[in-house]
Amino acid sequence: MKRLSMLAVLALGVALAMGCGQKKDEGAGKAGEVGTKVKLDFHIMSKCPFGVKVLEAIIPVLEKMGPNVDFNVYYIGKEQNGEFTSMHGEQEVKGNILQLCARDVGDFDGWLAFVKCQIQDWRKIPDGWEDCAKKAKLDAGKMKSCYEGDQGKTLLRASFKASEDKKATGSPTIFLGGEKEPYRGGRSEASFGRAICAKFDKEKPAYCKDIPAPVKVPVTVIGDKRCTERTCDTKRFVAFISHTFEGAEIRELDYADGEGKAMFEKTKEKFLPVAIFGPEVEKEEQGYARLKRRLTKLEGSDNFVFPLGRTWDPKAEICNDGVDNTGDGKVDCDDDTCKGKKECREEMKNKVDLFVMSQCPYGVRTVNAMEEVIKNFKNDRKKMDFTLEFIGNMGPDGKPTSMHGQGEIDEDLRQVCAQKYYGKDYKFMGYILCRNKDVRSTDWQACATGGVKADVVKKCAEGPEGLELLKASFKKAEDLGISGSPSWLLNNKFEMAGRDPEGIKAAFCGKNTGTAGCETTLSAGNPETTAPAGGCGPTGPAPAPTPAVAPPPGAPIAPAMAPAAAPKPIPAPAARQ
């Protein structure tokens, strides 16, 4: 057996697109090798739960038909000035390198066994890698040398470059059969098996005969064409269902139609859109597992109701159509139900609100990008009046809740209090930027510097004042229909986009022309201050599957990757302590 050599990389002085590729004379599984192989490439992050889930699904397929699949894994991240970063921090960088080294020092079977071992407890990666190497019968000494030395860095650099070349920024991004566009099919073992088998021209592996056909699942999606809000757009949900349930039979109805309105009334839901699944949904186990948390039985039927909408009440006043929809004599913004909605808000020049969850890695990176933007406008609120807002809910017991748990709530409270008491000249940003280096750490007092007093923040955050501030922030997000971190509100009423300093500044200046500082070009693409596409929490009407389940590639319909500290740059993977 001959391993893929790194000499070509060193000789050419460039990072060639490499990964955990399968060698011609190697491969797991007992299925006989057919004349051709199907190429399958995964672009993932080692500590992303969605990347882990697709590995869990593909491993049984590889074990059964490995010799027939040219399988490669590449990792997603950035290198700048010799420093590597990945979405879930330094530990993920180390995990990426370890998995690359496992492939480089061993054969395909050894790599497969190593990864299978690691993902059983993926949150602890890279801890315990030696045990996994032993189970996989890999040479731990060679692994350690690769992991801690230049070899691992070279492998990671090449892997990052391969993902960058394919424009793979979301984990997982999958390419099958040499297709230029990402694979958007199902993510179960059977789905992967069917998709791979369909790529063989003539002779197919024996495994292909044993894959069951997908279950036919009837789905009715009810929307409202009168609603132009992003949360009413059902396209992403339909796409999500199409590849979550390969046998989905989808039809779409509108509330204005008699049938659509009648079906919606039966669901007893308040908000649109809504989906109704046939009882067959329970037979598609993996897809059902993704939805069951929010599925309820439709009264008097075997069907299931899945709520999609959060803010659009079809019986309420529509705030911008010039019609008295509720018949109370009040039209549009004069109706009390329209207060706080974007359409009815007064424009406030130079105002920017950023809505985040404090422990959301996407939100963390976007807040980090604001440091350069604020400095560009000289920390002057007359030029840019920036406010940080938070996303969450108030429970029936009056206590706040958020996606990433109590730790996130505690940090939300501290940040909203720091902002209130140290808003002048943006002093509070020093605290937040410090916290973002390790936002899940409990040692928050260490960041209360530069005029920010820990006792002031503590008193506010742990008392009724902080609770009221956070409650008001949650309410503002709710009124605006904002549920995904990060989200923007520009000039108190407009949507906005921006993930790096230049993008944020350009969007701001588009509505605030003439502001001093708009003529400056800021940085773009810096891995430390550029948040990748995606977010925490649903940003549209699609469901929020549990974090253990993989969403479509790059789709903004799933929650964020596992909560983690903001990524830290590292010059090289240090030896594990």
- The confidence score (pLDDT) of residue 6 equals 28
| CA dihedral sign of residues 362, 367, 373, 375 | negative
Q: Kindly give the residue spans of alpha helices, DSSP state H, lying in 29-107.
A: 49-65, 90-105
- The answer to whether the beta carbons of residues 172 and 14 sit under 8 Å apart is no
3-class secondary-structure state, position 1: coil
Q: What is the spatial distance between Cα 132 and Cα 264, in angstroms, rounded to a whole number?
A: 52
User: Domain 344-511 belongs to what architecture?
Assistant: 3-Layer(aba) Sandwich (3.40)
Q: Residue 56 — φ and ψ, nearest 5°?
A: -60, -35
The DSSP code sequence of 201-226 is SS---GGGGGPPPPPEEEEEEEE-TT
pLDDT the model gives residue 32: 53
What pLDDT was estimated at residue 231? Answer: 81
If residue 363 lies in a helix (H) or strand (E), which one and from where to where?
helix 361-376
What is the distance of C-alpha 484 from the center of its chain?
10
Which residues, in sequence order, are CB contacts of 398 under 8 Å at separation 6+? none
Give residue 550's pLDDT: 33
Q: Which residues of the chain have pLDDT under 70?
A: 1-35, 526-529, 538-577
How high is the pLDDT of residue 34?
65
Residue 327 is encoded by which pair of tokens? Answer: 């018949």
Question: Is 504 in a helix, a strand, or coil?
Answer: helix
Q: Cα–Cα distance between 99 and 118 in angstroms, integer?
A: 9
pLDDT one-digit tens code per residue, 281-312 = 999 887 898 899 899 999 999 999 999 988 88
Pairwise CA distance, residues 166 & 184, whole Å:
15
- What's the Cα-to-Cα distance from 201 to each of 197, 217, 246, rounded to whole Å? 9, 29, 22
By residue count, the chain amounts to: 577
β-bridge mates for residue 276, sequence order: 220, 305
CATH code of the domain made up of 7-210: 3.40.30.10
* pLDDT score of 528: 63
User: Do residues 114 and 138 lie in contact, with contact meaning Cβ atoms separated by under 8 Å?
Assistant: yes
pTM of the model: 0.61
Question: What is the predicted pLDDT for the residue at 104?
Answer: 95
Asked whether 273 and 225 are in contact (CB, 8 A), the reply is no
* pLDDT at position 310: 80
* Per CATH, domain 216-312 is 2.30.30: no
Residue span(s) of the chain under CATH 3.40.30.10 come to 7-210, 344-511
d(CA 299, CA 192): 36
CB 484 within 8 A of CB 536: yes
Q: What is the pLDDT of residues 429-474, one digit of tens each?
A: 999 999 999 999 999 999 999 999 999 999 999 999 999 999 999 9
